[in-house]
Amino acid sequence: MRARFHAELEGVTATLVGMADGVTTAMQRASDALLSADAALAAEVRGDDARIDELYQRVDEQVSELMARQAPVACDLRLTITALNAATDLERMGDLAVHVAKIAERRAPESAVVPEIRDIVGGMADLTTRIGAKVSTVLRTADADTAAELATDDDAVDTLEQELFTVLLDPSWPHGVGPAIDAAQLGRWYERYADHAVNAGRRVIYVVTGESSPRG
Amino acid sequence: MRARFHAELEGVTATLVGMADGVTTAMQRASDALLSADAALAAEVRGDDARIDELYQRVDEQVSELMARQAPVACDLRLTITALNAATDLERMGDLAVHVAKIAERRAPESAVVPEIRDIVGGMADLTTRIGAKVSTVLRTADADTAAELATDDDAVDTLEQELFTVLLDPSWPHGVGPAIDAAQLGRWYERYADHAVNAGRRVIYVVTGESSPRG
């Protein structure tokens, strides 16, 4: 029974890997669309989110089937629910990539990223791409060191968000209210994406190893 | 077994009622703190969120115990997971009330709500208070009509958010970037609160009646 439970849970994990790869690609392409003001690419990111939602649905079905067949209790039940929660984090990360893409699309052919914030937003884009890839790595390898790195990367995103606000609120900001609101929202979405990635990473470590990752 | 399952599920529902009451009060008080620039009240809202988190934890425990004891399958399993998802919505609503309170606290003794947007933000505050109360009603009475009203109320919040952006982006906006970013964030949080309330309402109808509410 335990062996079959773990075989079914591995099926869930495989779908989670697909979700993690999907949301990493989604945020990377959304960032590319944003930084190059590419409306067509942004629209693709928006369309591709249906695929991530399908995988989320698939996790939900797999977990329901697993529970119906294996009726897990105690530790196994906790693992199963944690896998479901990791899927919720990943689904939300996909939505946040869509939010970024929508801003790119709405502003194109102009860029939503004015020169004053280009380095900061570019930095957030790089970090979140790296963070998404690390969540995939953690899912594939259950490497606790990589999971711990997520918290450090998340701190770096938070720091960049603060720098962004410093620029936006500086009296010398020349672009007025609209671009500032766009930029503040972009900052928030990258920051939320990183937060959910850290949560997903912790949950994945628990699902794959049965041990909680350090809260570092 | 079925009777015991439903008795245990009612215990979960009772905790959800506590959460719904808590997040309704939290957003109402956060809005009061915001509109009256009352830092002390805002700090109380922030502190009180721990109580909502405790109830969330309690739902989690109750669901784990229910699953361990009753090993629900098929429809009962779906009901149980839906109750857990409703709790996640309610917990998030509590967080959004804290976000509103934090803006109030950060700006006090000045008001984060400048005169140009006072009616709009006041309208959003009234609507979300009403929406929170309706989620509690739906939990207590399983009244599908009240649940359906949530979707209409949510549309009204969306409309106010659009009006808010029209004011913020008008060239005559006299307050610069900082207050505009605060206002845009406030609008977003009220809007997200209403969204989660609609989700929670639909889930609660399903948990209490076993039927999906119309997607309205």
Residue A196 within a domain: yes
Asked if residue A31 lies in contact with residue A129, where contact means CB atoms within 8 angstroms, the answer is yes
- Number of C-beta neighbours around residue B188 at 10 A: 18
* Share of chain B residues as helix, strand and coil, in percent rounded to the nearest 5: 85, 0, 15
**Closest to B68 (Cβ–Cβ): which among A74, A165, A180?**
A74
Q: Which two tokens stand for residue A88?
A: 């919720």
Task: Please say if the pLDDT value at position B179 is more than 80.
Answer: yes
Q: Which two tokens stand for residue B165?
A: 């952006």
Please return the burial class of A95, using the count of CB atoms within 10 Å of its CB with bins 0-12, 13-18 and 19+.
middle
The arithmetic mean of pLDDT across residues B147-176, rounded, is 95
Residue B215 within a domain: no
ipTM: 0.78
pLDDT band, very low/low/confident/very high, at A215 (cuts 50, 70, 90): very low
| Cα–Cα distance for residue pair B28/B90, rounded to 1 Å | 15
Q: What is the pLDDT of residues B10-46, one digit of tens each?
A: 999 999 999 999 999 999 999 999 999 999 999 999 9
Domain CATH code at residue A185: 1.20.58.220
- Which of helix, strand or coil describes residue A37? coil
Q: Give Cβ neighbours of residue B162 (< 8 Å, ≥ 6 apart).
A: none
Please return the burial class of A10, using the count of CB atoms within 10 Å of its CB with bins 0-12, 13-18 and 19+.
exposed
**Chains A and B: how many Cβ contacts under 8 Å?**
53
Chain B contacts of A188, Cβ < 8 Å?
Answer: 185
The predicted pLDDT at position A167 comes to 97
CA–CA min distance B141, chain A (Å):
28
CB contact under 8 A, B88 and A88: yes
Cβ of residue B177 closer than 8 Å to a chain A Cβ: yes
Q: What is the pLDDT of residues A151-173, one digit of tens each?
A: 999 999 999 999 999 999 999 99
Residue A79 within a domain: yes
Find which of A56, A67, A76 to mutate to test the B interface (most B CBs within 10 Å of its CB).
Answer: A67
CB contact under 8 A, A73 and B78: no
pLDDT band, very low/low/confident/very high, at B212 (cuts 50, 70, 90): low
User: Residue A167's Cα: distance from chain center in Å?
Assistant: 25
Find which of A78, A96, A181 to mutate to test the B interface (most B CBs within 10 Å of its CB).
Answer: A181
> What are the φ/ψ torsions at residue A88 (nearest 5 degrees)?
-65, -40
Considering only CA atoms, which of B81, B89, B121 is closest in space to residue B197? B89
Task: Please say if the pLDDT value at position B75 is more than 90.
Answer: no
Residue A51 within a domain: yes
Q: How many CA atoms lie within 13 A of A25 on its CB side?
A: 14
Closest residue in B to A182 (Cα–Cα): B181
What whole-number percentage of chain B has pLDDT above 90?
Answer: 75
Asked if residue B148 lies in contact with residue B214, where contact means CB atoms within 8 angstroms, the answer is yes
Residue A215 within a domain: no
Q: Return the higher-pLDDT residue of B211 and B68.
A: B68
Chain A contacts of B165, Cβ < 8 Å?
Answer: 181
| Residue B55 domain boundaries | 2-209
| Cα–Cα distance for residue pair B62/B59, rounded to 1 Å | 5
Crossing angle (nearest 10°) for helices A74-107 and B39-70: 130
pLDDT band, very low/low/confident/very high, at A211 (cuts 50, 70, 90): confident
Fill in the amino acid letter for A176. G
> Number of structural domains, chain A?
1
Residue A50 within a domain: yes
Q: Give Cβ neighbours of residue A71 (< 8 Å, ≥ 6 apart).
A: B71, B73
Q: Give Cβ neighbours of residue A150 (< 8 Å, ≥ 6 apart).
A: A131, A134, A135, A138, A197, A198, A201
CB contact under 8 A, A180 and B181: yes
> What are the φ/ψ torsions at residue A175 (nearest 5 degrees)?
-105, 0
User: 3-state SS of B139-186?
Assistant: HHHCCHHHHHHHHHHHHHHHHHHHHHHHHHHCCCCCCCHHHHHHHHHH
Residue A216 within a domain: no
pLDDT band, very low/low/confident/very high, at A216 (cuts 50, 70, 90): very low
The residue whose two tokens read 């369309």 is: A47
pTM of the model: 0.86
**Closest to B181 (Cβ–Cβ): which among A64, A68, A181?**
A181
The residue whose two tokens read 């506590």 is: B18
Considering only CA atoms, which of B164, B32, B52, B176 is closest in space to residue B105? B32
| Cα–Cα distance for residue pair A143/A208, rounded to 1 Å | 10
The predicted pLDDT at position A105 comes to 96
Residue A155 within a domain: yes
